[in-house]
Amino acid sequence: MFSLSKLSPSITDMIRFDHSHVLVTFHQYTSTSRLSVKKALGETICDALEIHATLEEEIFYPAFRTIDASDSVILKSEPEHMEMKRLIAELRGCDPSNPRHDQLVHELMRDVMHHVADEETVLLPKAERAMTAARLDELGARMTRRRLELIKPKAGRIAKNTAVGFSGSTTAIVVGLASALMAAKLVSNRVTKSA
């Protein structure tokens, strides 16, 4: 029997993967890129961050709070998400020809890098020390199922923006492999549901 929980990475590995994905996308963005590329990369960043924040808020943060609800990093994580969502809303409404578009991407990048550093140096190691591997894997499977639900209505747009944003880039190979992995997980999810 095909089981998503046996194929899905742990929740902490998935969070690290999301961080890597969005940072690679940020590094593709330059103020001298074609407007279509800037728009596509901006949308890719926004979608990735929105999905990631939802997954953390719905699954990881509640699980982490059972370990240590008073951790200073967990206490500031959701307010940081709120600020990122504010920047995302402004970025989505900003034309890529406007210099403010570049400023918003760079401001968002700065905030995300700070947030990622806190999570990767404090929260994720703490979760890995306090939770069993089975628990981390179970949360990872839950996160994978929820991710697929969140991606499904945006799949076409995500694919288009990835193709445009990473056009002509060797990084497109990495992003393409990551997309293929997600597609494989989608197939495995269908197999698991039908079994």
pLDDT top residue among 91 and 194: 91
Q: What is the mean predicted confidence (pLDDT) over 165-183?
A: 60
Percentage of the residues of the chain whose pLDDT score is greater than 90: 75
What's the pLDDT band for 166 if we cut at 50, 70, 90? confident
> If one looks up domain 4-194 in CATH, what number appears?
1.20.120
Spell out the residues 6+ positions from residue 26 whose beta carbon is closer than 8 angstroms to its own.
45, 105, 109, 112
Amino acid at 25: T
C-alpha distances (whole Å) from 111 to each of 14, 25, 87, 99, 175 are 20, 15, 10, 19, 23
Domain ranges of the chain: 4-194
pLDDT at 2: 46
| CA Rg value for the chain | 17
- 102 Cβ contact partners less than 8 Å away, ≥ 6 residues apart: 31, 38
Express each pLDDT in 128-158 by its tens digit.
999 999 999 999 999 999 999 999 999 999 9
Q: How many CB atoms lie within 10 A of CB 90?
A: 15
Q: Which residue has the tokens 């709120």?
A: 82
All residues at 6 or more sequence positions from 114 whose CB lies less than 8 Å from its CB, including other chains: 80
Per-residue DSSP letter, 119: I
| Helix/strand/coil percentages in the chain, nearest 5 | 85, 0, 15
The neighbour count for residue 50, using CB atoms within 10 Å, is: 18
Confidence of residue 194 (pLDDT cuts 50, 70, 90): very low
pLDDT digits (tens, 9 = 90+) for 73-112: 999 999 999 999 999 999 999 999 999 999 999 999 999 9
What is the value of pTM for the model shown?
0.83
What is residue 8's predicted lDDT score, i.e. its pLDDT? 79
CA 43 to each of CA 22, 76, 161: distance values in angstroms, whole numbers, following the listed order: 11, 25, 7
Least confident piece of the model among 95-104, 116-125, 149-158, 170-179: 170-179
Residue 74 Cα distances to 43, 90, 125, 154, 188, angstroms:
27, 25, 13, 29, 32
Q: Is the dihedral of CA 42, 43, 45, 49 positive or negative?
A: positive
Q: How confident is the model at residue 187 (pLDDT cuts 50, 70, 90)?
A: very low
